[in-house]
Amino acid sequence: MKLYYNPLSTYSQKTLIALYEKGVAFEPEVVSLMSPEGKAAYAKIYPIGKLPLLKPSDDHMIPESTIIIEYLEGHHASGTQLIPNDVDAARQVRFIDRMSDLYLGNPAGTLLFERFGFQKYSEEELAKASNYLRITYEHFDKRLANQDWLCGEFSMADCAAIPPLFYCQVVAPFAAYPNIVRYYERARLRPSYARVMEEFVPIWEGMLLAQNKSA
C-alpha cells in the first residue's frame, strides 16, 4: 500500500495521523507539487493532482483524506477506532471532520498562502477566511470545555482538526481560546502527531529560513 503525500500538506498530515493511529503499514511517496517536474509526474498517476492519494494496490486508488480514513476504518480493525459504531456518534465525527476541513483548514491555508506570497486573495476573501476561523474557534473551544478531544474519544475529527492548528499559530493565533490551546498541547504529545511533526517541522523551518535569507 502506497501513500502519495507531502509533509507540509494538512490533508496529508490528517491521513498520516490516521495511518499511525491505526498502525497500518504503508510505503511513503513524497510528492512536490511546487516543482513543475513533480507536478507533471504526479499528474500521470492522478490527473486531478490533489494530495493525498492512497493506492492499496496497483489497480486501486483512493483519493481525498476523509475517504482514505473511511477506507482504513472499514478495512483495518487495528489501533484506534476513528469512526464510532453508533450511527449518531459517527455522524457527529463526520460533521466535525467536515467542519475542520472547510472552516479551519481551508481558511488557514488561504491566510497562509497570502502571508507567504504563494497566492493573492482579495480583502473580501481574507476577511471571509478570518471570520470562518473565528466561528470555528468559538465552536471548538466550547466543545473542548469538558472533554479532551472534539468528539469525546480521539477520532477522525481530531485527525482533521489538529494539523491546521500548527499554521493557525502563525496566521490566526488562538491564544484567546484556552480550551483549544490545551487541546493542541495534548495533540503535540500524542505519538501519531508527534511522528508527523518530526517529518514536517524541519521542512517548514527550512522554508522560513530560506525565505528570511532571500528577503
pLDDT digits (tens, 9 = 90+) for 103-138: 999 999 999 999 988 889 999 999 999 999 999 999
Of the pLDDT bands very low, low, confident and very high (cuts 50, 70, 90), residue 213 is low
The pLDDT score that the predictor gives to residue 117 is 82
How does pLDDT run across 146-203, given as a tens digit for each residue? 999 999 999 999 999 999 999 999 999 999 999 999 999 999 999 999 999 999 999 9
pLDDT on residue 214: 62
Residue 212 has pLDDT above 80, yes or no: no
* 205 has a pLDDT exceeding 80: yes
Cα–Cα distance measured from residue 214 to residue 184, given in angstroms and rounded to the nearest whole number: 32
pLDDT of residue 83: 98
How far, in Å, CA of 215 to CA of 212, rounded?
Answer: 5
For the ranges 26-35, 80-89, 178-187, the lowest mean pLDDT is seen at: 26-35
pLDDT over 70 for what percent of the chain?
98
Rounded CA separation 158/95 (Å): 12
Put the strands of the sheet holding 53-57 in their side by side order.
Answer: 27-30, 2-5, 53-57, 60-63
Q: What's the CA dihedral at 124, 94, 30, 110 to 10 degrees?
A: 10
Which domains does the chain carry?
Answer: 2-75 (3.40.30.10), 87-210 (1.20.1050.10)
Cell of 115: 502571508
Collapsed DSSP state (helix, strand, coil) of residue 47: coil
Taking the C-alpha atoms of residue 40 and residue 118, their distance in angstroms, rounded to an integer, is 19
pLDDT at 61 over 70: yes
Residue 215: its pLDDT value, please?
A: 53
Spatial separation of the C-alpha atoms in residues 4 and 95, rounded to whole Å: 26
Average pLDDT, the chain: 95
pLDDT score recorded for residue 84: 97
Q: Report pTM.
A: 0.95
